[in-house]
């Protein structure tokens, strides 16, 4: 085979031998190009005639490096792709892995075992760059086994969880904001519906304790049990105010009764003494009337004095009755006759 004016002998290559021995099956083998040093997938296809005689071998080399190049923004940041052969040789890789190196250290063949499908887990967590744990997953073996390739994808654990952590922080932030709003709503409700109303009730109770029963809780009153309590407090203040007015009225009546009792006691004492004086005047007037029997003018004067004393005695009995010092003597009186008598006296 000639390649760039150079003759290459491929008879020692396994894929070429496999193509010569096959009956029309494509032979694949990953390798590093002798001239370019790049990882390639060697493809050999034997062309045969109808009798099965080999006519020629169709060869192709596919570069593997473009297969592990990720488009910007595709996948998790820091994602690494790696192509390994069946011996664990890195053929092509993105990131810090170098083609031609053996995956993992000499003492740690976990990557190779995982790539070869010998590990029991569906993924493997192995030390990555700078000691960062890296999770590796393997492509479907049925797709890569004929080419004797192992395709692995890996990403640092912190990169894998970065999106979830960001969403968690966003959710926590939203929950915190919702909690703040809820706290503000509860505080506002407590401020408007409870604390202010309790302050009004306390102020009214203090005013009532100071003696101001005219104070009231003005509308609007809240609904519910708190509003019922405030309404009952207004009714209580109104009832106490009414009781205070009734007590004051009874107190005024008691004082008036006490004054009348004092006046009655004074009147009874004066009437009793005055009645004694009238008794002396009446007795002397009767004595003068008897002595002036032959003197009509003197007798008339004595009788006038006696009549005045008699009227004074009647007035004294009335004062004693008012002072409750003497029993009342009610009698039936004809008002018409009494008026007629008074009118007749006036004419005389």
* pLDDT score for 247: 92
| CATH class given for the domain over 66-160 | alpha beta
* pLDDT score for 35: 67
The better pLDDT of the pair 143, 231 is held by: 231
* pLDDT score for 223: 79
* pLDDT score for 2: 41
For 215, other C-beta atoms within 10 Å of its C-beta total: 17
* pLDDT score for 78: 66
Q: Please compute the mean of the pLDDT values over residues 150-159 and round it to a whole number.
A: 76
Q: Which of 17-21, 175-179, 277-281, 321-325 has the lowest mean pLDDT?
A: 321-325
Q: Please compute the mean of the pLDDT values over residues 198-202 and round it to a whole number.
A: 84
Could you tell me the pLDDT band of residue 101, with boundaries at 50, 70 and 90? Answer: very low
Taking alpha carbons only, the member of 143, 150, 165, 173 closest to residue 77 is: 165
Exposed/middle/buried for 293, CB within 10 Å: 0-12, 13-18, 19+?
A: exposed
* pLDDT score for 60: 81
Q: Running DSSP on this structure, what letter comes out for residue 55?
A: E
* pLDDT score for 104: 41
Phi, psi of 96 (to 5 degrees): -100, -5
- First-residue to last-residue Cα distance in the chain: 185
- For residues 320 and 268, the answer to whether their CB atoms sit within 8 Å is yes
Q: Which are the contacts of 63, defined by CB distance < 8 A and separation ≥ 6?
A: 38, 39, 40
Quick check: 144 pLDDT over 80? no
Could you say which architecture CATH assigns to the domain 2-63? 2-Layer Sandwich (3.30)
The better pLDDT of the pair 177, 164 is held by: 177
Q: Please compute the mean of the pLDDT values over residues 165-174 and round it to a whole number.
A: 87
Most confident range (mean pLDDT) of 98-102, 135-139, 160-164, 303-307 is 303-307
Q: 95 vs 39, 78, 86, CA distance in Å?
A: 16, 8, 21
CA–CA dist 33, 10 (Å, integer): 12
Kind and range of the H or E run holding 305: helix 296-322
Quick check: 328 pLDDT over 70? no
Looking from the CA of 253 toward its CB, the CA atoms found within 13 Å total 6
> Model confidence over 291-305: pLDDT tens digits?
888 888 888 888 888
CA–CA dist 145, 131 (Å, integer): 31
């Amino acid at each position: 085979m000639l390649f760039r004016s150079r003759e290459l002998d491929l008879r020692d290559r396994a894929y070429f031998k496999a193509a010569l021995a096959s009956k029309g099956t494509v032979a694949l083998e990953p390798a590093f190009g002798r001239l370019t040093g790049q990882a390639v997938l060697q493809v050999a296809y034997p062309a045969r005639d109808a009798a099965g005689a080999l006519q020629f071998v169709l060869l192709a080399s596919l570069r593997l490096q473009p297969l592990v190049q990720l488009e910007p923004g595709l996948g998790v940041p820091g994602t690494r792709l790696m192509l390994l052969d069946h011996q664990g040789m890195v053929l092509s890789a993105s990131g810090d892995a170098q083609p031609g190196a053996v995956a993992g250290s000499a003492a740690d063949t976990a990557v190779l075992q995982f790539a070869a499908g010998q590990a029991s887990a569906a993924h493997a967590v192995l030390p990555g760059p700078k000691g960062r744990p890296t999770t590796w997953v393997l492509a479907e073996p049925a797709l890569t086994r004929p080419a004797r390739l192992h395709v692995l994808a890996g990403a640092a654990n912190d990169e894998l969880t970065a999106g979830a952590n960001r969403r968690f922080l966003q959710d926590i932030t939203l929950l915190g904001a919702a909690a703040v709003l809820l706290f503000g709503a509860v505080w506002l409700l407590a401020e408007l519906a409870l604390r202010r109303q309790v302050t009004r009730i306390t102020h009214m109770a203090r005013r009532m304790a100071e003696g101001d029963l005219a104070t009231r809780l003005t509308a609007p009153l809240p609904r519910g049990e708190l509003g019922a309590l405030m309404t009952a407090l207004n009714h209580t203040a109104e009832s106490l105010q009414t009781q205070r007015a009734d007590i004051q009225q009874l107190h005024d009546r008691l004082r008036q009764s006490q004054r009348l009792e004092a006046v009655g006691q004074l009147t009874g004492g004066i009437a009793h003494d005055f009645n004694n004086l009238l008794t002396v005047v009446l007795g002397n007037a009767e004595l003068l009337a008897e002595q002036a029997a032959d003197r009509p003018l003197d007798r008339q004067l004595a009788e006038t004095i006696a009549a005045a004393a008699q009227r004074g005695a009647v007035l004294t009995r009335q004062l004693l009755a008012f002072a409750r010092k003497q029993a009342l003597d009610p009698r039936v009186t004809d008002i018409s006759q009494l008026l007629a008598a008074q009118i007749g006296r006036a004419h005389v």
